[in-house]
């Protein structure tokens, strides 16, 4: 039995190769999808319909949704906004240097970066 805590895995893919439509779904329930004309919009729509409150999840998206060149990202849904876990501080909001620990400059100490599109 797998007792590890698993976080939801959300996939976002283009509807078809030549399509401008993107669809998002949870890998636990692949038939339940939300689509939009931007990957972040599809994910946002999916979460706003299917998730109550905040959610941490792993996003797999072939589009560069977060603008960081990664196809897999740890994300947070805090309605109505989507956030990317900060890659510089790994979500801690702090940067630990040789002498002192200071606020992470990439996310200004928030640990997450809001997705704008
Ligand atoms: Zn940071």
Per residue in 27-62, pLDDT tens? 999 999 999 999 999 999 999 999 999 999 999 998
Query: How far does CA 24 lie from the centroid of its chain?
Result: 11
Question: Cα(25) to centroid of ligand 1, in Å?
Answer: 27
pTM: 0.85
100 or 79: which leads in pLDDT:
79
Q: Is residue 47 part of a domain?
A: yes
Q: Which of 61, 68, 100, 103 is nearest to 87 (CA)?
A: 68
Quote the number of domains for the chain.
1
Q: Is residue 27 part of a domain?
A: yes
Parent domain of 101: 9-114
Spell out which residues have Cβ within 5 A of ligand 1, the ion.
86, 88-89, 104, 106-107
Question: Cα(88) to centroid of ligand 1, in Å?
Answer: 5
Q: Which of 65, 66, 59, 35 is nearest to 49 (CA)?
A: 35
Q: Is residue 3 part of a domain?
A: no
**Count of C-beta atoms within a 10 Å radius of residue 59:** 25
Classify each residue of 61-76 as buried b or exposed e, where b means 16 or more C-beta atoms within 10 Å of its C-beta: beeebbeeeeeebbbb
Q: Is residue 51 part of a domain?
A: yes
Q: Is residue 108 part of a domain?
A: yes
């Amino acid at each position: 039995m797998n007792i590890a805590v698993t976080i939801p895995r959300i996939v976002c893919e283009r509807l078809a190769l030549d399509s401008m439509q993107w669809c998002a779904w949870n890998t636990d329930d692949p038939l339940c999808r939300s689509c939009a004309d931007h990957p972040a919009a599809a994910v946002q729509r999916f979460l706003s319909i299917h998730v109550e409150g905040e959610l941490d999840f792993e996003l797999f998206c072939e589009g560069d949704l977060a603008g960081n060149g990664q196809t897999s990202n740890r994300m947070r849904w805090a309605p109505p906004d989507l956030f990317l876990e900060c890659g510089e501080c790994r979500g801690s909001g702090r940067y630990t240097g040789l002498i002192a620990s200071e606020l992470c400059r990439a996310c200004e100490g928030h640990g997450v970066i809001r997705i704008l599109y």
